[in-house]
Amino acid sequence: MPVFASCGEALALGLASGPACIAACGPVLVPSLLTERAGFRPHARYLSAFLGARLLGYLLFAVVAWELGVLASMLPAPRLLLMGAVYVLLAGVLLWYAVSARRSCVQPCAESNLIRIGESRNRGLAGAASLGFLTGLNLCPPFVAAGIRAAQLGSMAAAMLFFAAFFLGTSLWFVPFISLGCIARNQAVLTVARMAMVLIALYYLSMGIAMLLGKKTYGY
């Protein structure tokens, strides 16, 4: 298949499955973005780190899966293990985020430019990159669909190119998240975001442990 045709197909697949990607990444992305400072620039910076690391996760998975020959058909047990591990790690990073994202006020009643909501000690963009990388490894349905298609290509390079184009298509759907920068930040927004992160982390943790133990994730 010509490279352009394959890239076009991957781009279209990414664009078509963007809403599913947003849905899968939303619980991680929205609360963590809300702990950032208000404004487009911090949000764009955060999203760039998140998406860059997500691309890295995609490509790493593509390389490893290609080498192991499991890109098209990963057995249920290892898939469950991988997802369980990703969920547990996501829970860990989210909990770290929730703890580290705090209002660091230089001094009480200081001027507003001295109060940096959400900018915490030594976190930088590492948190965004960690979350992006882990969501890149998350085997969501569109990702699996892309994997199956990429496996039919002739070489690893072509498969990686396919994943990169797929990533580009899905990433366009993430651009509106920058608008979360318009939401004014105050202590209430930060606290709500941190509490939500803890809840989501606990949810992921329970799901992850159940998957790692090979248990059903539904009690019915």
Partner 1 sequence: MATDARNLPPARPAPRGIGWSLLLTLPILIWSFLMFGNPQVHADRQMHIAGAITALFMTVLFFMMMRTRATYRWRRIFFVSLGLLFPVGFIYNLVLVRGTMGIPIEEMIAGRTPFCFMPIPLLILPAAFTRTLVFPGSIASNSHGMAAMVGIWLAMTLVLGKGWCSYACFFGGIEEGVAAIPPRAKIRKLDPRLRLVPWAVLLAMVLLSLALFEPAYCMWLCPFKAVSEYVAARNLLGLIQNIIFILLFAGLVIVLPFLTKKRTQCSWFCPFGAFQSIFNKISIFEMKIDKDRCKPCLLCQNACPNLSLSKESVARGETLMSCMKCGACVDVCPREAIVWHIKGTQIAWKPERARLMFLYGAWAMAIMFGGSIIAQGLAAILHIVV
Residue 121 within binding range of partner 1, rule CB under 8 A: no
Q: Quick one: 4 or 218, whose CB is closer to partner 1?
A: 218
- What is the closest distance, in whole angstroms, from the C-beta atom of residue 71 to partner 1 in the complex? 24
Q: Quick one: 90 or 165, whose CB is closer to partner 1?
A: 90
Residue 150 within binding range of partner 1, rule CB under 8 A: no
Binding mask 176-215 for partner 1 (x = CB under 8 A): ------------x--xxxxxx-xxx--x------x----x
Angstrom CA distances, 57 to 62, 143, 152, 165, stand at 8, 11, 20, 14
The helix/strand count (H/E) of the chain reads as: 8, 2
Give the C-alpha separation, 154 to 170, whole Å. 23
Beta-carbon-side half-sphere exposure of residue 25 (alpha carbons within 13 Å): 29
Element (H, E) at 105: strand 104-105
Give the C-alpha separation, 116 to 32, whole Å. 15
- What is the closest distance, in whole angstroms, from the C-beta atom of residue 113 to partner 1 in the complex? 24
Residue 99 within binding range of partner 1, rule CB under 8 A: no
Give the C-alpha separation, 204 to 198, whole Å. 10
Q: Quick one: 164 or 210, whose CB is closer to partner 1?
A: 210
Q: Quick one: 70 or 198, whose CB is closer to partner 1?
A: 198
Q: Quick one: 56 or 198, whose CB is closer to partner 1?
A: 198
- What is the closest distance, in whole angstroms, from the C-beta atom of residue 215 to partner 1 in the complex? 6
Binding mask 9-48 for partner 1 (x = CB under 8 A): ----------xx-xxxxxx--xx-----------------
Q: How many chain residues are in contact with partner 1, going by CB under 8 A?
A: 28
DSSP annotation of 215:
-
Pair of tokens at residue 120: 């915490």
Pair of tokens at residue 172: 């366009």
Pair of tokens at residue 5: 């045709």
Pair of tokens at residue 72: 């098209």
- What is the closest distance, in whole angstroms, from the C-beta atom of residue 13 to partner 1 in the complex? 17
State phi, psi for 101 to the nearest 5 degrees: -80, 100
Binding positions for partner 1, rule: CB under 8 A = 19-20, 22-27, 30-31, 188, 191-196, 198-200, 203, 210, 215-220
